[in-house]
Amino acid sequence: MKLYLVRHGQTDMNKEKLYYGWTDCPINEQGKKQAKALQCFFENIKYDKIITSDLKRAVETAEIINNGRNVPFEKRKNFRELHFGDWEGGHYKALKQKYPDEFTKWAEDWKNFTIPKGESFQAFYKRVERELDDVIAQTPEENTILLVTHNGVMSAVLCALLGMGFDGFWKFFLEQETYCLVSIKKGNVLLEKINCPILK
């Protein structure tokens, strides 16, 4: 099985560096250009299914990339980004002032701390891992999947596939308008490409 990983295109909230895990915002004009560049790249690559987070920014990016191709298109809620709860739509500096105690607890125990009305990193990681396991179990080994999702989800997927666990999470940052490629064969995982730029 080959798994291509692609991050959604830029959004305005993204550009403003806000926390917006489950906030359902669209991609902006730059995001559409990024998705179109990815579409030009993937039009020469055969994939058997496109899977996306069910959030608008991922779906829009996936629809542009897919561009009417006759392959199954599947939205999966469990591939959403971390749910930031009360922190959704806020900037780091403002939130740190508003929630000083919570931010201290988050810094001290980022794996287990549950964001107010949101979720813990551990809960996020486990739901992504379960969904990934389900995709792998349902996919014939000779098939190729294109997964369009979020930076945090992609980092969690790579950690799970490479056996790095929670502690490997901060070793990754996945750029927009790039792709990652992972091969999975008989339980063996090979990371072939990461943050690979699209040649224009």
For residues 122 and 110, give the distance between their C-alpha atoms in angstroms, rounded to a whole number: 9
Q: Which of 129, 194, 134 is nearest to 163 (CA)?
A: 129
Q: In sequence order, what are the beta bridge partners of 185? A: 188
* H or E, element range at 172: none
Active-site residue, 8 included: yes
Residue tagged active-site, from 8, 60, 83, 119: 8
Q: Which of 18, 144, 150, 162 is nearest to 76 (CA)?
A: 150
Residue tagged active-site, from 81, 119, 131, 177: 81
Active-site residue, 81 included: yes
Task: Write out the two tokens for 122.
Answer: 């551990």
Active-site residue list = 8, 81
